[in-house]
A = this chain, B = another copy of it.
Amino acid sequence: MEFLTGVKEKDTKGIKELLQGDYEGKIVKMNGAVHSIRDMGDVAFVILRKAEGLVQCVYEEGTADFSLKEIKEESAVEVTGMVASEERAPHGFEIRLLGIRVLSEPYQVLPLAINKWKMNTSLETRLALRPVSLRNVRERAKFKIQEGIVRGFREFLFGQGFTEIRTPKIVSRGAEGGANVFRLNYFNKKAELGQSPQFYKQTMVGVYDRVFEAAPVFRAEKHNTTRHLNEYVSLDFEMGYIDSFEDVMAMETGFLQYTMDLLNRDYEPELKMLGVELPEIREIPQVRFDRAKELASEKYNRKIRNPFDLEPEEESLIGRYFKEEYGSDFVFVTHYPSKKRPFYAMDDPEDNRFTLSFDLLYKGLEITTGGQRIHEYPMILEKMARRNMDPDDIRDYLMIFKYGMPPHGGLGIGLERLTMKLLDEQNVRETALFPRDVTRLEP
């Protein structure tokens, strides 16, 4: 009988291993994709692409026991060669090639130059060829940083006593529903794709006090803009025993501070490659919705058309105002009008036209919506009645209030939007691996 006993030791080396050990002058094996071949006549530079970065290999006829013709760009190979310091090479070393083992070969030459520093192609083309355009080192760096944001979210919240949950994405036709949901037939029942884990995460506050989830959400909105996706990743948390919705904003501020530190520490090569300077977040201003509108209107001489709505242009001006006046890329806009918030939002007891809620704007774009939720059974029933909603439609959700819930609040952060603004991208499709929009279902 044969047995598996754990991860197998490989005789190939990684970049980190070479940098940490003393390999100068030693012969090593390394695998990777042939990212580019630059033939200079006497010598050729063969650049290997690995997850960790690029490695310069030097081919010299006579020294290497193979012909340069045996390899192609995008071949997967295992090279054998001698490690030598070389300041001008990535990571400060190169591998002088002795032998090669071709593991696989492409069938056709790439349709775009992914090995160029900047691919001179439209977003449209890059998205159509996403399965291979992501191999460009700058493209893939974006999604490493995105990985880091989610890591920051989880690590920070674990440290704050949150529990990670996983809630269903196929849900019964809910009260939040409306026009913007994807519908499906679920064994002859009417179902839809969850637009948010809202009901479930509130439910789980009754179980674990503080919970979070990082998972896909689905919105059938027909907007075709640079900031909308029809499927995106929502970073959701919900916390019980809050004194006010400021506790939620404070927690988000802590997450952002933690995550910028984590990115600076663990994703420095990617940040450098993309020329990204992360914001230093010491404090984030908070301003009431109505006051924010006034401030932007006064300073930029723009008429307030609807006192109960915030247009994208106004969001942008509010962002600009707080950048100019307070040097902050972020601003919490609080007390959104009740009409603009879902039924479960807690109204402001001092003026029930407004809610104890907020958006976080980052460089003038909404990246978070959050607030305090209603936790008393009679209050939520009353608010539903005012909106002509039938409690029977969401019996299971209302159960938690009937049997007791602590005061609580939470938020949802659009991962792709946060990444987009962090990287100063102009289109949210740049920061979704395989974006879904009104016209795009593939790749």
Interface positions of A (Cβ within 8 A of B): 1-8, 12, 14, 31, 33, 50-52, 72, 74-76, 78, 103-111, 129-132, 134-135, 140, 143-144, 146-147, 150-151, 160-161, 163-172, 182-187, 189, 191, 193, 200, 203-204, 206-210, 215-216, 218, 220, 222, 230-231, 233, 240-241, 246-247, 249-254, 257, 282-287, 326, 332, 375-378, 396-397, 399-407, 415, 433-434, 436, 438-439, 441-443
Name the CB-closest residue of B to A434. B168
Is B170 touching A200 in the complex (CB atoms < 8 A)?
no
Is A106 touching B403 in the complex (CB atoms < 8 A)?
yes
A143 to chain B, nearest CB (A): 7
A123 to chain B, nearest CB (A): 17
Distance between Cα atoms of A346 and B250 in the complex (Å): 52
Distance between Cα atoms of A303 and B286 in the complex (Å): 73
For the complex of A and B, the 9 pairs showing the least CB-CB separation, nearest first, are A106-B404, A74-B404, A76-B406, A396-B443, A3-B283, A107-B377, A7-B254, A51-B209, A4-B253
For A285, what are the chain B residues with a Cβ–Cβ distance below 8 Å?
1-3
For A106, what are the chain B residues with a Cβ–Cβ distance below 8 Å?
377, 402-404
Is A186 touching B182 in the complex (CB atoms < 8 A)?
yes
For A184, what are the chain B residues with a Cβ–Cβ distance below 8 Å?
182-184, 193
Distance between Cα atoms of A168 and B441 in the complex (Å): 9
Distance between Cα atoms of A6 and B281 in the complex (Å): 9
| Contact A406-B144, Cβ < 8 Å, known A253-B4, A283-B3 | no
For A207, what are the chain B residues with a Cβ–Cβ distance below 8 Å?
134-135, 140
Pick 27 A–B contacts, CB within 8 A, sort by A.
Answer: A1-B285, A2-B285, A3-B286, A4-B249, A31-B241, A51-B210, A74-B403, A75-B404, A76-B375, A104-B407, A106-B402, A107-B376, A107-B404, A108-B377, A130-B396, A131-B396, A140-B207, A166-B433, A168-B436, A169-B231, A170-B193, A183-B185, A184-B184, A187-B222, A187-B438, A187-B439, A215-B215
Distance between Cα atoms of A108 and B401 in the complex (Å): 9
Is A404 touching B104 in the complex (CB atoms < 8 A)?
yes
For A51, what are the chain B residues with a Cβ–Cβ distance below 8 Å?
161, 163, 208-210
A241 to chain B, nearest CB (A): 5
For A168, what are the chain B residues with a Cβ–Cβ distance below 8 Å?
216, 231, 433-434, 436
Is B189 touching A251 in the complex (CB atoms < 8 A)?
no
Q: How many copies does the complex hold?
A: 2
Name the CB-closest residue of B to A107. B377
For A206, what are the chain B residues with a Cβ–Cβ distance below 8 Å?
33, 131-132, 134-135
Inter-chain pairs besides A107-B404, A108-B402, A172-B441, 12 sampled, C-beta below 8 Å: A4-B249, A6-B257, A7-B160, A7-B251, A31-B406, A50-B209, A104-B404, A131-B397, A132-B206, A168-B433, A172-B442, A187-B439
Distance between Cα atoms of A12 and B436 in the complex (Å): 44
Query: Which of B75, B250, B284 is A7 in contact with, Cβ under 8 Å?
Result: B250
Is A216 touching B134 in the complex (CB atoms < 8 A)?
no
Query: Which of B4, B169, B405 is A216 in contact with, Cβ under 8 Å?
Result: B169
